Chains A and B, each alone.
Chain A
Amino acid sequence: AQSVTQPDIHITVSEGASLELRCNYSYGATPYLFWYVQSPGQGLQLLLKYFSGDTLVQGIKGFEAEFKRSQSSFNLRKPSVHWSDAAEYFCAVGQPTGGFKTIFGAGTRLFVKA
């Protein structure tokens, strides 16, 4: 079955510290992979996406993600977190042949402390 797992429900990091949010997926073939961010009461914003090519992809707001096929992972990273990064982050996977649906993980809530 297709699924996305974000093992961490919430993470707290200090401002200026590095961040890594974990994402593991289960899919029949290499899917398209996405990370989205959601601020409270808002819709989701696409941070970055991957399907093929360089396994380290750069996104907006200084985020990057690394695809590791052997681990079925697509972890999101940021070298230095800002207070404005506090939000909920969702990993997502999909394929056009899978009914065109994109499956989202349960999300990781990021708290940033001063």
Chain B
Amino acid sequence: DAGVTQSPTHLIKTRGQHVTLRCSPISGHKSVSWYQQVLGQGPQFIFQYYEKEERGRGNFPDRFSARQFPNYSSELNVNALLLGDSALYLCASSPPTFGDGYTFGSGTRLTVV
């Protein structure tokens, strides 16, 4: 059974550009969460989606948006990139029961130059 898959694994963007990151959850998981992990820090919560609806949002600017598709895959979009958006972006899928914890993908390393 495939785990959580994220694409691309790495990318480099220029300030002001837009980026789309993609995630496919574990089969049977209907919830997808996005986290930003800056080097040397713990992951910071960006969004959680469940059944295509936003269920939680962290303290990120409106430049960050996401959506979930009928097959439960998800996209994270970031507009007007800043140097400070350089980070590892992690996608996590989870079953409906909150306490079961996350299964994380390997992440997308975004570098903004």
Residues of A within 8 A of B (CB): 4, 32, 34, 36, 41-46, 49, 51, 90, 94-96, 99-107
Out of A43, A102, A105, name the residue touching B107 (CB < 8 Å): A43
For residue B48, CB closer than 8 A to chain A, the reply is yes
Q: Are B42 and A90 in contact (CB under 8 A)?
A: yes
**Which of A4, A51, A99, A106 is packed against the most chain B CB atoms within 10 Å?**
A99
Contact B43 A49 (CB under 8 A): no
A36 and B100 alpha carbons, distance in the complex (Å)? 13
Partner of A100, one of B43, B48, B100, B103: B48
Please determine whether A43 and B98 come into contact, CB atoms closer than 8 angstroms.
no
> B101's contact among A46, A99, A101, A107, by CB below 8 Å, is which?
A46
Interface size class on chain B is: 20 to 34
A57 and B50 alpha carbons, distance in the complex (Å): 28
Contact of B45 among A90, A95, A103, A106 (CB under 8 A): A103
Contacts of A95 in B (CB 8 A): 98
B residues sitting closer than 8 Å to A (CB atoms) are 4, 31, 33, 35, 40-45, 48, 50, 55-58, 90, 92, 98-107
Knowing A32-B99, A49-B101, the reply to whether A99 touches B42 (Cβ < 8 A) is no
Q: Check if A51 sits within 8 Å of B42, measured CB to CB.
A: no
B43 touches A44 (CB 8 A): yes
A101 in contact with B56 (CB, 8 Å): yes
Known: A36-B104, A100-B33, A107-B41. 5 other contacts (CB 8 A): A43-B90, A44-B90, A99-B56, A100-B50, A104-B44
Within the complex, the shortest CB–CB distance from B61 to chain A, in Å, comes to: 17
Closest chain A residue to B48, Cβ basis: A100
Determine the chain A residues whose CB is within 8 A of the CB of B50 once the complex forms: 100
Q: List 22 A-B contacts (CB under 8 A).
A: A4-B42, A32-B99, A34-B101, A36-B102, A36-B104, A43-B4, A43-B92, A43-B104, A44-B43, A44-B104, A45-B104, A46-B103, A51-B99, A90-B42, A96-B98, A99-B57, A100-B50, A100-B55, A100-B98, A101-B48, A104-B44, A105-B42
Say whether, besides A44-B102, A46-B102, A49-B101, A101 and B58 are in contact (CB < 8 Å): yes
